[in-house]
């Protein structure tokens, strides 16, 4: 192994591995150090996203949705399958295969792209400036080596927040990773936190037959989302059977006779509940422990996030930080764009992330997706707001899919016609939001969307009609 690189990336998740690949594409010599270890002891690149986040959760969401559709929707199509059963072992095996394929894909991309993948721990010993940055690499065998690099990109990611009052045993009381690995459908599942993870994983096990109760401390559901979007999503998820309790503050949980007892307080006073399994999904925190030696000049804020500017520069010479370990939403696509930006800047090229246009997607059924400003945010900013909306019940394609709940909503500036935000709850909302991202990136007007032809019958017509509705010119819905 050589001991000097142009770039060393610490962390091989969606922040780190794209940074390493782009650096190599920019003809820089690059090593990516990653210490991810799976529960079975195997090592893999890909970080949280590929090993214990985005990819395994979407694999299970797909399986559970198919199961749900077979049980509840096939009949409407005239398809009789009897009462479907779920083989959780087979479902988990499929998920593991997808994860293995994807993480193995990164190893292949590294190999063919000229990135040196190093499995073990990295620690920044010194920033650059006078000379190279210094990084300590501790291999899987414990052997230490000091490497030097022109620049370093820190991409150490995040870990789940734990609650002191809810001690996890990894079996009955688990975090999101544990909830992705259940070997059977729990009869009664408790989830603490009605955030993205709570809703996605709650949905998985609810569709497979669990009775799911979600305990959310806040009074508002999905506080960051457009209020109308959040209200519709809450209505639909509750209708499916998710028992979402808002304003529910958990004070304690313990395992008692093989079941989990939880105490919480809500509007109705002190309550208790019993579950077979409990998932703690109350947010994630940056993982910056043991990442920095004394005196590197890299600053951490009060919550242990690495302090960076808009270009992910830490302020310590030639040291960048990207992804979940820095400010901003903890999302894989945000991490990836930041990693690529850092690799471009190091190579002396142009690099930029538009923090105004970061899509959010919650992969429940229906999906919940948004980008840009909510109606309330736009009004609070003093914008003369106009709103356009289109319900999926008026979409032929959505009805053909038996998925006609929800709507697409556009928030625009009535004076300039500029689109400020798009909010969708409905089928494939996560795919539809792509068009909205492009519209916002290009500063599109409602008229631009109105004049763009959308294929019929597609779900994307909902975005087109919502844009028309903003000017009371929708064809397929009432212009209220």
The residues assigned a catalytic role are 456
Of the pair 195, 405, the CB lying nearest ligand NAD is at 195
| Minimum distance from residue 333 beta carbon to ligand FAD (Å) | 5
Q: Is 181 in the site for ligand FAD (CB under 6 A)?
A: no
Query: Which residue's Cβ has the minimum distance to ligand NAD?
Result: 195
**Cis preceding-peptide flag for 457 (omega within 30 of 0):** yes
Tokens of 63: 């399986």
Of the pair 297, 329, the CB lying nearest ligand NAD is at 329
Of the pair 86, 331, the CB lying nearest ligand NAD is at 331
User: Which of ligand NAD, ligand FAD, none is residue 30 near (CB under 5 to 8 Å by kind)?
Assistant: none
Q: Is 406 in the site for ligand FAD (CB under 6 A)?
A: no
The residue from 5, 6, 7, 12 that contacts ligand FAD (CB under 6 A) is 12
Tokens of 453: 């032809």
- Enumerate residues 417-446 that contact ligand FAD by CB under 6 A: none
Tokens of 225: 């989302």
| Minimum distance from residue 287 beta carbon to ligand FAD (Å) | 5
User: Which of ligand NAD, ligand FAD, none is residue 10 near (CB under 5 to 8 Å by kind)?
Assistant: ligand FAD
User: Which of ligand NAD, ligand FAD, none is residue 192 near (CB under 5 to 8 Å by kind)?
Assistant: ligand NAD
Cα distance from N-terminal residue to C-terminal residue, the chain: 67
User: Which of ligand NAD, ligand FAD, none is residue 287 near (CB under 5 to 8 Å by kind)?
Assistant: ligand FAD
The residue from 103, 115, 157, 383 that contacts ligand FAD (CB under 6 A) is 157
User: Which of ligand NAD, ligand FAD, none is residue 217 near (CB under 5 to 8 Å by kind)?
Assistant: ligand NAD
The residue from 64, 156, 314, 469 that contacts ligand FAD (CB under 6 A) is 156
User: Which of ligand FAD, ligand NAD, none is residue 291 near (CB under 5 to 8 Å by kind)?
Assistant: ligand FAD
What is the distance between the alpha carbons of residues 343 and 23, in angstroms, rounded to a whole number? 5
Of the pair 372, 391, the CB lying nearest ligand FAD is at 372
What is the distance between the alpha carbons of residues 392 and 465, in angstroms, rounded to a whole number? 10
Of the pair 252, 293, the CB lying nearest ligand FAD is at 293
What is the distance between the alpha carbons of residues 312 and 390, in angstroms, rounded to a whole number? 38
Question: Could you tell me if 269 and 262 are in contact, meaning their C-beta atoms sit under 8 angstroms apart?
Answer: no
What is the distance between the alpha carbons of residues 324 and 306, in angstroms, rounded to a whole number? 10
- Contact string (CB under 6 A) for ligand FAD, positions 199-238, x = contact: ----------------------------------------
User: Which of ligand FAD, ligand NAD, none is residue 359 near (CB under 5 to 8 Å by kind)?
Assistant: none
| Minimum distance from residue 21 beta carbon to ligand NAD (Å) | 22
What is the distance between the alpha carbons of residues 203 and 215, in angstroms, rounded to a whole number? 14
Q: Is 13 in the site for ligand FAD (CB under 6 A)?
A: yes
- Contact string (CB under 6 A) for ligand FAD, positions 328-367, x = contact: --xxxx-x---------------------------x----
What is the distance between the alpha carbons of residues 226 and 233, in angstroms, rounded to a whole number? 11
Q: At what angle do helices 88-113 and 16-25 cross, to 10 degrees?
A: 30
Tracing tokens 């990207």 back to the chain, one arrives at 322
- Contact string (CB under 6 A) for ligand FAD, positions 115-134, x = contact: ------xxx-----------
Return residues touching ligand FAD (CB under 6 A): 10-16, 33-36, 47-49, 53-54, 57, 121-123, 155-158, 176, 197, 287, 291, 323-324, 330-333, 335, 363
């Amino acid at each position: 192994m050589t001991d000097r690189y142009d770039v060393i990336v610490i962390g091989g998740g969606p922040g780190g591995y794209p940074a390493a690949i782009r650096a190599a594409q920019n003809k820089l010599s690059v090593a990516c150090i990653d210490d991810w270890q799976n529960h079975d002891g195997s090592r893999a690149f890909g970080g949280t996203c590929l090993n214990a986040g985005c990819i395994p959760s979407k694999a299970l969401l797909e399986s559970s949705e198919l199961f749900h559709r077979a049980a509840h929707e096939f009949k409407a199509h005239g398809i009789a399958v009897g009462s479907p059963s779920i083989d959780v072992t087979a479902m988990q095996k499929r998920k593991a295969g997808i994860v293995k394929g994807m993480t193995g894909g990164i190893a292949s991309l590294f190999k063919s792209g000229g990135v040196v993948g190093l499995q073990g721990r990295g620690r920044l010993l010194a920033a650059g400036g006078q000379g190279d940055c210094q990084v300590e690499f501790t291999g899987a065998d414990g052997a230490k080596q000091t490497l030097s690099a022109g620049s370093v990109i820190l991409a150490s990611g995040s870990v789940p927040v734990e609650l002191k009052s809810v001690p996890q045993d990894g079996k009955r009381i688990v975090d999101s990773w544990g909830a992705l690995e259940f070997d059977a459908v729990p009869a009664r599942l408790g989830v603490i936190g009605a955030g993205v993870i709570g809703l996605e994983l709650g949905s998985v096990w609810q569709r497979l037959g669990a009775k799911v109760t979600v305990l959310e401390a806040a009074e508002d559901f999905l506080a960051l989302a457009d209020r109308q979007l959040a209200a519709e999503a809450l209505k639909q998820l509750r209708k499916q059977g998710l028992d979402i309790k808002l304003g529910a503050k958990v004070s304690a949980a313990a395992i008692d006779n093989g079941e989990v007892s939880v105490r919480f307080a809500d509007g109705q006073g002190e309550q208790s509940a019993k579950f077979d399994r409990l998932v703690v999904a109350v947010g994630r925190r940056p993982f910056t422990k043991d990442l920095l030696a004394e005196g590197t000049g890299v600053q951490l804020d009060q919550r242990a996030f690495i302090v960076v500017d808009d270009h992910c520069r830490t302020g310590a010479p030639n040291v960048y930080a990207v992804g979940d370990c820095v400010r901003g939403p903890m999302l894989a696509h945000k991490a990836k764009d930041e990693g690529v930006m850092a690799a471009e800047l190091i190579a002396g090229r142009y690099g930029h992330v538009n923090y105004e246009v970061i899509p959010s997607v919650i992969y429940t059924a229906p999906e919940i997706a948004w980008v840009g400003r909510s109606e309330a945010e736009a009004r609070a900013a003093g914008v003369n707001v106009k709103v356009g909306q289109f319900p999926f019940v008026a979409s032929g394609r959505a009805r053909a899919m038996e998925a006609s709940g929800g709507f697409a909503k556009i928030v625009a500036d009535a004076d300039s016609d500029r689109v400020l935000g798009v909010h969708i709850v409905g089928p494939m909302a996560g795919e539809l939001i792509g068009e909205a991202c492009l519209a916002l990136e290009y500063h599109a007007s409602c008229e631009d969307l109105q004049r763009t032809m959308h294929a019929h019958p597609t779900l994307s017509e909902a975005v087109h009609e919502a844009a028309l509705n903003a000017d009371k010119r929708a064809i397929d819905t009432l212009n209220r």
